[in-house]
């Protein structure tokens, strides 16, 4: 670089190269999981993958795009509903699950022209209203039987053991695929664009960033990702009650995971999801106090540790495991 002597701009450090290698090994090991893990572990890991997927999608919106949505359950529920509908039309059930997620992404595209023109709090509650409206409209479908709900009966064609393994692989593939997609996009032009928009929409536009187009890409991917999470959750629980799937608690979980892990860092939501997963397994049974604790923790993190666990570590030790940005390094 021809800048100041002794400085260079770097993206990959030896540590992050090693981390990428570790991620590849871990992904391969997880892919073989069902061959050596017990039924319970496979089930729990499937849930963890869904959480990681949800957290990463919400982080892509808020942490990179500056879009705080309290209505991502709109796509979570819509994905699950679409899978049930497709399956009722005779689409093979696992194809219906994947397509359901894609259709949620298509719905995100359809409403993006409207939603993305809303700012800040308007966008936040506007998304919530959309989620409520989708919920009410889905209830109108006779197949769903109102709040009683229905089940994805076609899954019964598979033996429980096989179903468990297929769900696991589908969840792993969805999570890994969407994380890889976000990683690639955030490292490229889109990453710079959306972060510029997050910091100042006007300034970004004045530099020639196509604001709406950049936001739309992130929004649609997040919609599809949350939709897939919804269909995966449907695959593990089989039953579909609209109030559960369109509940705002999904957004509460996403916010918790991202704030605890680290808003606006790539690794943060993954760590946040693991933390949430552990807390849920330990305290989930304690009911109400567990939920009070989740809300309070989110507030405390937002106020006192805004960069979350991972962001704080990153700042303190200057490490990047999965680099999406650049940094200035002292040349040896």
Partner 1 sequence: MIWLNQIIQGVLLGGYYALIACGLSFMFGVMRIINLAHGDLAVLAAFLVWAIVDRSGMSPFLALAIVLPVMGALGWLLQRAMLERSLRAGVLVPLLTTFGLGIVIQNLLFEQFGADTRSLAPAIGDLAFDSWSIGSQIYVGHLAGLIFMVAVALLGGLQLLLARTPLGRAIRATAEDPDTAELVGIDARSVYAAAAAIAVMTVAIAGTFLGMRAAFAPYAGPAQLIFAFEAVVIGGLGSMWGTLLGGIVLGVAQNLGAQIAPNGFLIAGHTVFLVVLGGRLLRQRMRRAS
To partner 1, the closest distance from the beta carbon of 273 in angstroms equals 17
- Nearer residue to partner 1 within complex by CB, 47 or 69: 69
H-type helices in the chain, by residue range?
Answer: 14-31, 33-36, 39-59, 73-88, 93-115, 120-140, 160-187, 189-199, 201-206, 211-237, 242-245, 249-261, 268-283, 288-304, 308-317
- Nearer residue to partner 1 within complex by CB, 154 or 209: 209
Long-range Cβ pairs for the range 18-22 (8 Å, 24+): 19/321, 19/322, 20/322
Q: What is the helix (H) or strand (E) element at residue 7, kind and residue range?
A: strand 7-10
- Nearer residue to partner 1 within complex by CB, 11 or 117: 117
Enumerate binding residues for partner 1 (CB under 8 A).
Answer: 62, 66, 68, 70, 114, 117-118, 120-122, 124-126, 128-130, 132-133, 136-137, 139-140, 248, 251-252, 255, 259, 288-289, 291-292, 294-299, 302-303, 306
Whole-angstrom CA distances from 143 to 155, 197, 242, 259, 288 are 17, 42, 12, 38, 33
- Nearer residue to partner 1 within complex by CB, 244 or 251: 251
* Residues 6 or more apart whose Cβ sits within 8 Å of residue 321: 15, 16, 19, 267
To partner 1, the closest distance from the beta carbon of 257 in angstroms equals 12
- Nearer residue to partner 1 within complex by CB, 180 or 300: 300
To partner 1, the closest distance from the beta carbon of 294 in angstroms equals 7
How far apart CA 212 and CA 233 sit, in angstroms, is 31
To partner 1, the closest distance from the beta carbon of 266 in angstroms equals 18
To partner 1, the closest distance from the beta carbon of 136 in angstroms equals 5
């Amino acid at each position: 670089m021809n800048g100041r002597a002794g400085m260079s701009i770097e993206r990959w450090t030896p540590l992050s190269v090693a981390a990428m290698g570790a991620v590849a090994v871990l992904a391969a090991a997880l892919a073989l999981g069902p061959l050596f893990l017990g039924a319970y572990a496979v089930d729990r890991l499937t849930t963890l993958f869904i959480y990681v997927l949800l957290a990463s999608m919400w982080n892509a919106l808020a942490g990179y795009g500056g879009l705080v949505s309290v209505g991502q359950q709109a796509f979570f529920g819509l994905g699950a509903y679409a899978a049930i509908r497709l399956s009722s039309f005779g689409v093979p059930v696992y194809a219906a699950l994947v397509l359901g997620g894609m259709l949620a992404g298509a719905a995100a595209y359809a409403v993006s022209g409207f939603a993305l023109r809303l700012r800040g709090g308007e966008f936040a509650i506007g998304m919530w209203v959309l989620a409520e409206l989708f919920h009410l409209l889905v209830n109108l479908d006779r197949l769903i039987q109102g709040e009683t709900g229905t089940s994805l009966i076609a899954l019964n064609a598979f033996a429980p053991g096989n179903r468990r393994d297929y769900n696991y692989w589908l969840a792993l593939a969805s999570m890994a695929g969407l994380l890889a997609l976000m990683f690639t996009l955030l490292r490229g032009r889109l990453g710079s664009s959306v972060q510029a928009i997050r910091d100042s929409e006007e300034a970004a536009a004045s530099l020639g960033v196509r604001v709406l187009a950049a936001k739309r890409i992130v929004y649609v991917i997040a919609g599809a990702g949350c939709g897939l999470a919804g269909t995966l959750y449907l695959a593990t629980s089989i039953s579909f009650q609209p109030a559960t799937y369109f509940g705002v608690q999904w957004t509460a979980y996403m916010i918790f995971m991202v704030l605890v892990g680290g808003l606006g860092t790539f690794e943060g939501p993954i760590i946040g999801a693991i933390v949430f997963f552990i807390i849920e397994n330990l305290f989930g049974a304690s009911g109400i106090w567990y939920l009070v604790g989740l809300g309070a923790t989110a507030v405390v993190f937002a106020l006192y540790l805004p960069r979350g666990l991972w962001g704080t570590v990153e700042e303190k030790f200057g490490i990047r495991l999965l680099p999406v940005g650049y940094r200035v390094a002292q040349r040896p």
